[in-house]
Structure 1
Amino acid sequence: MPVVNLSLQVLPVVDEKDIYPVVDSVIEMIRETGLKFEVGAMETTIEGELDELLEIVKKAQTICVEKGASRVVSMVKIDYKPEGVTMDEKTYKYRK
């Protein structure tokens, strides 16, 4: 299966003081997968196989609820092409 990019933004419905700790828990779960990822100001982009990435999205919802969210709104963007696509090929020219 080709490598694709998935960007995930989770917005847990918790008290404002708890937003970052909940989001940090999701980012830690992503880190533990060993996949390539980049944390941005508004979302985290992950590189991997589509099925694996969609499992991460599902786990993110569960983590937010386990950390006290009464609801989770998530935005997911997927960049897929049959031959694969990497984060580096899209951003290398900006990292000189």
Structure 2
Amino acid sequence: MLVNLSLQVIPTVKEEDIYYVVDRVIDRIAESGLKYEVGPMETTIEGELADLLEIVKDAQEICVKYGASRVCSVVKIDYKPEGVTIDEKIGKYRK
């Protein structure tokens, strides 16, 4: 069943390094092969819950690997028994 998970990572690094570290997390998401959309404050991913939670775990480790002394993350999950997709929620807003 597909669920949506939005992930915002806020690594404690020098300001000039923030985008570089966040981009490494987005690289991990892209490599997963799952559908995702990058937004200005968070990235939303569509997939099986177990796979998405593994990405959340990896995101913390990636931030530390690239210099973060601490990582604050915000995770939102949209789950319903029949599944939920990104398209059903925002498809009507796309041009």
Q: Give the structure-2-normalised TM-score.
A: 0.99
Give the AA of the match of 2:50.
D
Partner of 1:15: 14
CA distance in 1 between partners of 2:77 and 2:85 (Å): 12
**Ranges of 4+ aligned residues in structure 1 off by more than 6 Å:** none
Partner of 1:83: 82
Give the AA of the match of 1:92.
G
Give the AA of the match of 2:60.
Q
Residue identity over aligned pairs, in percent, reads 74
Secondary structure in structure 1 of the residue aligned to 2:45: strand
Structure 1 residue 60: Cα displacement: 0.1
CA distance in 2 between partners of 1:66 and 1:93 (Å): 39
Give the AA of the match of 1:95.
R
After superposition, the CA RMSD in angstroms is 0.5
Structure 1 residue 57: Cα displacement: 0.1
Secondary structure in structure 2 of the residue aligned to 1:89: helix
Give the AA of the match of 2:19.
Y
Secondary structure in structure 2 of the residue aligned to 1:77: strand
Structure 1 residue 92: Cα displacement: 1.0
Structure 1 residue 9: Cα displacement: 0.1
CA distance in 2 between partners of 1:18 and 1:52 (Å): 27
Q: Can you give the 5+ residue segments of structure 2 that lack an aligned partner in the other structure?
A: none
Partner of 1:50: 49
Matched residue count: 95
Secondary structure in structure 2 of the residue aligned to 1:88: helix
Partner of 1:65: 64
Give the AA of the match of 1:91.
I
